[in-house]
Each structure stands twice: as C-alpha cells, then as structure tokens.
Copies of this chain bind each other. A is one copy, B any other.
C-alpha cells in the first residue's frame, strides 16, 4: 500500500478531497506550494487541514513565482477585482496547475505513490483553462511518459474527483465526510476575515447557499 499525494491549497476543494480520503481510510501525503501568493493565510489553512485529516506527511515547497509575475495573485501591483468580470480573470496565474501538478508528480514518484489528487473543478469555477477535464487528461498522457515509474509500467495517475461537480455538490460531499471547512481559506485577498466579494468568495458562498448549509468562515460582506 503506497498511498497517494494530495495537492492541498488550504481552500474548500482540497479540504473536501482530504476529508473524503480520510473517510475512506486511504493513506495520503499532502503537498502545498508557497508561491508568494497574496493570500498566505492559505498556507496556515493547509497546515491545519493536513493535521486534522491525518496526512502522513505535509510538504511545503517554496517557489518564488514573483519574478515571473503576470497575475494579481503574485504581483502586488495588480489589484484583486470583485467578482463579475468577463473571460479569464486577472487572478489567473500562468501555468499554475501545471507547475503544482509537476511538483506533486515529483513528490509522488519520490515516495512511490500511485496517484495525485487535485481538487480542481470546472463547473462553478473562475474559468481557468487548467481546471478543465481535457487538461487533466492531457497532463496524464504527458505524465505517463515523463517518469521512471511510467517507463516501468507503473504510472502516477492524476485524479480530479471534483472536476464535474457543482460547488454545492462538493460542499454536500465534504460535509458528509466531515471536512474541516472552518479551517479552510478561499478568499484571494487574505485579510483578517474573508472579503465576500472576490470571485473565490462569491463561488464559495453561492455553493453553501445552494447546498442549504452555513459557511463556518467569517466574512466582511456576505
């Protein structure tokens, strides 16, 4: 039993996957990337969720993406907008899931794990291209050719169990599995309380509302 790796951001989706893995008694290790994001509170959230859900190991990889820039989440000169714009928003981070999945792949191979879980979803989401099922599928094809394990016929498989679920369905599933949502953090702005106005807060609040459940996190505006 070699277990799996979970990309744990500290947000609602990866908290859900962590709780589901725990409820199935599946052993997993968590990896979180400290990429100079504005909402560094995510890192505290990730640490607490990993401990609460019994991750075998929690690795925080530091990677300074500020020199790359190109996003409101990594460049302090670009402001985080309120929800409601059109197209792919300025909070898009170039190639973020590709970078994160690559690091998770390296971690999985080094620990001899069979799979990598990611909480990506493509229903109630911000329109990021690297959250779509076709992207995950293409990443898997690439990954099977990239690794020593792949050459040996034991590929590391990327699993995105939430990808076709609505936010409300994700929250229902997580609530059933006892997900520690009070410990999670979704707000892009990273203030003392969640702002309630950015895209990430709006999607989260809409999901709780549609699921008929109460979000345990405190908000400035709801």
Contacts and interface: CB of A to CB of B under 8 A. Distances in A.
Number of copies: 2
A215 to B, nearest CB: 30
A177 to B, nearest CB: 28
A98 to B, nearest CB: 4
Contacts of A130: 145-147
Contacts of A107: 68, 94
A62 B107 CA distance: 17
A217 interface: no
Interface stretch (A15-23, A136-144, A159-167, A184-192): A136-144
A58 to B, nearest CB: 10
A102 to B, nearest CB: 4
Given A68-B61, A142-B138, A148 B88 contact: yes
Contacts of A88: 148, 151
A99 B106 contact: yes
A13 interface: no
Interface residues of A, number: 46
Contact of A61 (B59, B64, B105, B145): B64
A68 B46 CA distance: 18
Contact of A146 (B97, B147, B148): B97
A132 interface: yes
A150 to B, nearest CB: 6
A94 to B, nearest CB: 4
Given A62-B64, A139-B142, 4 more contacts: A61-B67, A94-B106, A94-B109, A98-B102
**10 shortest interchain CB distances as A-B pairs:** A70-B110, A95-B106, A94-B109, A138-B142, A94-B106, A135-B145, A99-B102, A98-B102, A95-B105, A102-B102
